[in-house]
């Protein structure tokens, strides 16, 4: 995984931050990978970035709020959300944000 | 580190995503920790979340764009930014976003 390449702002970000349970139950990794695969295939998807150590942070980027709402309501995603609350997460936060500015750096060597 | 506790939106997020160099040079960890310590002490700071595996993602939350601009222009932070480009990072992206909606989940047990 690399930092995502996204178009000129404005576009939207979904910042999903989570802390896992100590004994989270199995199936987490496979479902997490599957959700990223499904998200990538959706209309309006622009990119995704994910990292986990003590907490996990997944940021997905989208054209607009409609694309985000449709992904949230996807059937397989709804099942994964329910399983996350039942088994995997001690806590999570979802923040929906409008990206207004972007800049970056790429090493030349 | 836990998912940040933030006030009712709207507020702002700075999403900093980075990929380290293979041989990044030393001093990275200490500076990264110092920058979080400095950010926490600034006016307008609301919270921070950070995780790293293949890539690093640090999301900081702020009252408004002025607080973000002032933190970007902080002297010690400017030095760290330059050192990041000189030594530590292969690539990074900075995205400034207006958080419009937030919801979450906390396990009761």
| pLDDT of A24 | 66
Cis peptide before B10 (omega within 30 of 0): yes
**Residue in B4, B9, B93 to test binding to A, most A beta-carbons within 10 Å:** B93
Cβ-based neighbour number of residue A24 at 10 Å:
13
Is the pLDDT at A109 greater than 80? The verdict is no
Contacts of B102 in chain A (CB under 8 A): 93-96
Distance CA B99, CA B49 (A): 15
Question: 61-90 in B: which are within 8 Å (CB) of A?
Answer: 84-85, 89-90
What pLDDT does residue A26 have? Answer: 79
CA distances from A93 to A73, B24, B70, B88, B102 (A): 17, 32, 27, 30, 7
Q: At what angle do helices B75-83 and B28-40 cross, to 10 degrees?
A: 150
Q: Output the pLDDT for position A3.
A: 86
What is the average pLDDT across A58-78?
98
Q: Do A54 and B1 touch (CB under 8 A)?
A: yes
pLDDT tens string, chain B, 109 residues long: the values are: 788 999 999 999 999 999 999 776 778 999 999 999 999 999 999 999 999 999 999 999 999 999 999 999 999 999 999 999 999 999 999 999 999 999 999 998 6
pLDDT tens for each residue of A23-47: 767 789 999 999 999 999 999 999 9
Q: What pLDDT was estimated at residue B1?
A: 76
| pTM to 2 decimal places | 0.96
Backbone angles phi, psi at B56, to 5 degrees: -110, 140
**pLDDT score, position B24:** 65
At A108 the pLDDT is 86
Instruction: Report whether B11 contacts B63 (CB < 8 A).
Output: yes
The pLDDT value given to residue A1: 76
Interface test with A, best of B57, B69, B84, B96 (most A CBs within 10 A): B57
Please give, rounded to a whole number of angstroms, the shortest distance from the CA of B39 to a CA of chain A: 19
Confidence of residue A2 (pLDDT cuts 50, 70, 90): confident
């Amino acid at each position: 995984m690399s930092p995502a390449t996204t178009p000129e702002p404005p576009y939207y970000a979904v910042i999903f931050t989570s802390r896992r349970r100590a004994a989270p139950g199995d199936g987490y990794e496979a479902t997490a990978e599957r959700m990223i695969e499904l998200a990538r295939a959706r209309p309006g998807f622009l990119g995704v970035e994910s990292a986990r150590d003590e907490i996990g942070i997944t940021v997905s980027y989208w054209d607009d709020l409609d694309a985000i709402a449709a992904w949230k309501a996807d059937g397989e995603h709804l099942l994964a959300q329910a399983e996350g609350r039942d088994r995997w997460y001690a806590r999570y936060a979802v923040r929906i944000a409008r990206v207004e500015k972007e800049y970056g750096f790429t090493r030349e060597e």
